[in-house]
């Protein structure tokens, strides 16, 4: 016997975010008797842009369950009355009756250390790669490769110098080589750390990117832990 799908109206401003949710809902990921996220084939998503939502709201053509993704116009009147079901790293979702909302408070990530910790958690989730961790963003820019080449060039130069010194002053060659190797290693780590810190600071200052990362973090948790409950309440 087939169950009738429940309709969920999803109101969005970021189409990629809406598509992320739709992909998870429509994926057949249940295992035997275990439901992963929402039950397979149980929800039919109807996606509305903010403009479509406002038009239907004005005409009174609203019925059934509604999910707002992000700061859609009018959610400021809904957020104060919802029962918050998830609150982590400034990312929140909850519902009141048939209306649910996922929203973020970027001001909660007040320092770079907190933001880096959030990125670590985001990196474990199935979201687009360009939104993921600091390491991924550095790799995309090619910064790691540049650093590696620079370190390799410096190390090669140092090795040549060490060979000449070994020929002239063999008794002191091993000690000298060891000291230089340690120094080169420390310098390499220092350079890498400086580039990582600089990139982290750059990402931390990009509030639009941060907000988008937080919304994707929230939509994955909503699918995994909250959407099934909302649809069945």
Per-residue pLDDT of 100-129, as tens digits, reads 999 999 999 988 899 999 999 999 999 999
Residue 138 lies in a domain: no
Residue 169 lies in a domain: no
Closest-CA residue to 203 (of 144, 101, 122, 134) = 134
Residue 87 lies in a domain: yes
Residue 192 lies in a domain: no
86-90, Cβ contacts within 8 angstroms, sequence gap of 24 or more: 86/218, 86/221, 86/222, 86/225, 86/226, 88/221, 89/114, 89/117, 89/118, 89/121, 89/214, 89/217, 90/214
Residue 101 lies in a domain: yes
Domain span at residue 62 reads 6-107+218-232
Indicate whether 96 pLDDT > 80. yes
CATH number at residue 228: 3.40.50
Percentage of residues of the chain with pLDDT beyond 70: 68
pLDDT band at 1 (very low <50, low <70, confident <90, very high): very low
Residue 131 lies in a domain: no
Claim: this prediction has a pTM higher than 0.75: no
Domain total for the chain? 1
């Amino acid at each position: 016997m087939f169950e009738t799908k429940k309709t969920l109206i999803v109101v969005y401003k970021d189409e990629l975010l809406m598509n992320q949710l739709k992909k998870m809902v429509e994926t057949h990921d249940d295992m035997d008797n275990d439901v992963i996220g929402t039950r397979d084939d149980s929800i039919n998503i109807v996606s509305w842009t903010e403009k479509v939502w406002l038009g239907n709201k004005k005409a009174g053509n609203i019925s059934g369950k509604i999910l707002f993704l992000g700061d859609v116009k009018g959610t400021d009147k809904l957020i104060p009355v919802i029962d918050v079901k998830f609150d982590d790293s400034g990312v929140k979702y909850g519902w009141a009756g048939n209306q649910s909302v996922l929203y973020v408070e970027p001001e909660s990530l007040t320092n770079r250390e907190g933001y880096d910790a959030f990125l670590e958690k985001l990196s474990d989730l199935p979201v687009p790669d360009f939104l993921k961790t600091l390491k991924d963003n550095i790799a995309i820019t090619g910064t790691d490769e540049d650093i590696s080449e620079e370190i390799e060039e410096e190390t090669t130069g140092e090795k040549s110098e060490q060979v000449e010194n070994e020929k002239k002053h063999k008794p002191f060659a091993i000690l000298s080589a060891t000291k230089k190797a340690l120094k080169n290693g420390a310098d390499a780590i220092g350079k890498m750390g400086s580039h990582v810190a600089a990139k982290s600071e750059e990402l931390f200052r990009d509030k639009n990117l941060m907000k988008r990362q937080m919304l994707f973090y929230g939509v994955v948790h909503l699918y995994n832990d909250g959407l099934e409950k909302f649809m069945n309440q």
